[in-house]
Amino acid sequence: MHIQVSGQQIDIGDALRTHVDEKLNTGVAKFFDHTIDAVVSFTRERERFLCNVAVHVYSGLIMRADAAATEIYAAFDAAAARIEKQLRRHKSRIKAHKGRGAAAGESLAAQYYVIDGEAEEAPHANGEAGEPAIIAESPASVATLRVGDAVMQLDVSGAPVLLFRNAGNGGLNVVYRRADGHVGWIDPAFDPAAAR
């Protein structure tokens, strides 16, 4: 697995790089043999170090974890432990789902945009407010999943929201993490009359 280690205004020495490499390779290999890559970044915020770890396990699945501590090694170790916990949960869910039959594997092509939330909207030629400034874009896909599988993917990815095509009805659905810790599910294809 290729691991990229970086620090913002922090000198990342060879000892820390070796520690990150050994710990991530060992921890991830317990659950998945062919992980693609990982990115580890360190930042200093006053008296503590922040560590952000993103592990690209396989196509469509990226695990993320953050941790903070007064020691840089402790911050990384806590983030790596969270990644291992996510991988363990994902692996056990895969085993539990085995034999239930796979959802249709088709996916929709989509485009992912990052919009600058602080920039003012560029005005149109007629003086009206225009579109917000796009600062990044990349191709994405909307997978066809069962609702349970979408919730599992939301949990392991660490993302706040997941758009998917419902394997049961073919409609576009959203699952998201609520402020109270529960998972919300939006199904625009739901027919209340049919549910009665």
Does some domain include residue 166? yes
The answer to whether residues 67 and 111 belong to one domain is: no
pLDDT tens-place string over residues 79-108: 999 999 888 887 777 776 655 544 445 677
Question: What totals of helices (H) and strands (E) does the chain contain, helices first?
Answer: 4, 9
Does some domain include residue 130? yes
The answer to whether residues 129 and 85 belong to one domain is: no
Backbone angles phi, psi at 92, to 5 degrees: -70, -35
Q: Supply the pTM of this predicted model.
A: 0.55
H/E segment holding residue 192: helix 192-195
The answer to whether residues 76 and 112 belong to one domain is: no
Unique residue bearing structure tokens 């170090």: 49
- Return the CATH number at 173: 3.30.505.50
The answer to whether residues 190 and 134 belong to one domain is: yes
- Return the CATH number at 28: 3.30.160.100
**How many whole angstroms separate alpha carbon 119 and alpha carbon 25?**
40
The answer to whether residues 172 and 114 belong to one domain is: yes
Number of domains in the chain: 2
Structure tokens at 105: 């594997």
The answer to whether residues 13 and 61 belong to one domain is: yes
The answer to whether residues 72 and 157 belong to one domain is: no
Among residues 97, 130, 159, the one where a domain terminates is 97
Write the secondary structure of 2-70 as one string of H (helix), E (strand) and C (coil): EEEEEEECCCCCHHHHHHHHHHHHHHHHCCCCCCCEEEEEEEEECCEEEEEEEEEEECCEEEEEEEEEC
pLDDT tens-place string over residues 23-78: 998 888 888 777 778 899 999 988 999 999 988 877 667 788 999 999 999 999 99
Per the CB < 8 A criterion, the answer to whether 103 and 146 are in contact is yes
Does some domain include residue 59? yes
Among residues 67, 97, 127, the one where a domain terminates is 97
pLDDT tens-place string over residues 106-162: 677 777 777 776 666 555 555 566 677 777 777 777 888 888 888 877 877 777 888
What domain range includes position 113? Answer: 107-195
DSSP letter string, 66-121: EEEESSHHHHHHHHHHHHHHHHHHHHHHHHHHTTS-PPP--EEEEEEEEE-SSSPP
Does some domain include residue 169? yes
The answer to whether residues 85 and 140 belong to one domain is: no
Is the pLDDT at 1 greater than 90? The verdict is: no
The answer to whether residues 127 and 55 belong to one domain is: no
Among residues 48, 73, 97, the one where a domain terminates is 97
The answer to whether residues 114 and 177 belong to one domain is: yes
The answer to whether residues 119 and 91 belong to one domain is: no
Does some domain include residue 102? no
Per the CB < 8 A criterion, the answer to whether 167 and 144 are in contact is yes
> So what's the pLDDT on residue 101?
45
